[in-house]
Amino acid sequence: MNETVSGYRFKPDDLGVGRRTPGISIFMRVRNGADFLEAAIRSHADAVDEIVAVHNQCTDSSDAILHRLAADLGPKLRVIHYPDRVFPPGSEGHAREVADSPASFVNMSNFALAQTRHTIAMKLDDDHVAIADRFARLAARVRSNAFRLNETLCFSGINLARGADGTIGVPAHEPLVGTGDHFLFEVRPDTFFRHDPRFEHFHHADPRVFGDITYWHLKYLKAGLGFANYEMDETPNPRFERKKKRLMENRSLLTIAELAARQPAWAGLARHLPLPEKTRLKLARAHALRTDPPALDRATLGSALGETHDDHDPR
């Protein structure tokens, strides 16, 4: 399915909660994601029931990749073009636009969510490549519960970056990503994105619980180190400027084994204590990494990166 929708304004009724069928839907907001877009989609596709990819303002080959994948994957992948000018999170335009403006990233995000058809949904970024067995286990957990959730089931990822010599590993200064901002959730009338001057804020009332570490985060391996879509040349953003500067100044890499060994041994106990939600999520993440570190899936990740066997091995 390939279509174009312009001038859309989100209304909560568009979520169509009553018409949804049991299953897991992924929705994507794609802008110039060609580097890892195919790997992101293919590595998640087998574990879910549909993927809705909304592409916007792409000047690379993202749209061609999506259309080719749609022909290959059939009804499982639906591709929609959202042609309106959309301001990126963190920009002055984003801060200015109201939530239901066609130019708002919030509105486009809600549009993508509203196109999904199943009871459970999750957002996927074009630089998230699944750790296939771990994501499949998490999806199976949802299926075993008859596609019902009374909690927001969070998952995290492991950052990868290039060191000063060009090899690939886990950046020592920022090894992990995700403390509750990526998750599976049950779609309800009030589960949608709200406007925050800095970004799109997803509203959900269910408590957040940690599921697993399920993906490799390849943002820092993209062209422009993953910051190109923020239009920082036009509207400088101090937060993103600091992140980019830290990445360029800190090139030390870890292996997965080294990263796992750094996690606190007491995290498995502490995560059950009455602690703030974000602290509990971080401790549960640390426990999962220390007790069950993921293996590098070269069949998926290696081909996406174009790795050779003498690259730095982040196992």
Low-confidence ranges of the chain (pLDDT < 70): 1, 230-233, 236, 298-300, 307-315
The Cα–Cα gap between 207 and 194 comes to: 18
Cα atoms in the Cβ-side hemisphere of radius 13 Å centred on 139:
23
What pLDDT sits at residue 269? 86
112 token code pair: 């993508």
What pLDDT sits at residue 146? 96
Among left, alpha and beta (phi > 0; psi -120 to 50; other), residue 166 is left
What pLDDT sits at residue 232? 63
- Answer yes or no: are the C-beta atoms of 187 and 17 closer than 8 Å: yes
Task: Give tens-digit pLDDT for 2-37.
Answer: 799 999 999 999 999 999 999 999 999 999 999 999
pTM above 0.95, yes or no: no
What pLDDT sits at residue 1? 55
What pLDDT sits at residue 314? 53
Q: What are phi and psi of 193, to 5 degrees?
A: -80, 140
Count the Cβ atoms, other than its own, within 10 Å of residue 223: 11
Cα Rg, the chain, nearest whole Å? 19
What pLDDT sits at residue 246? 84
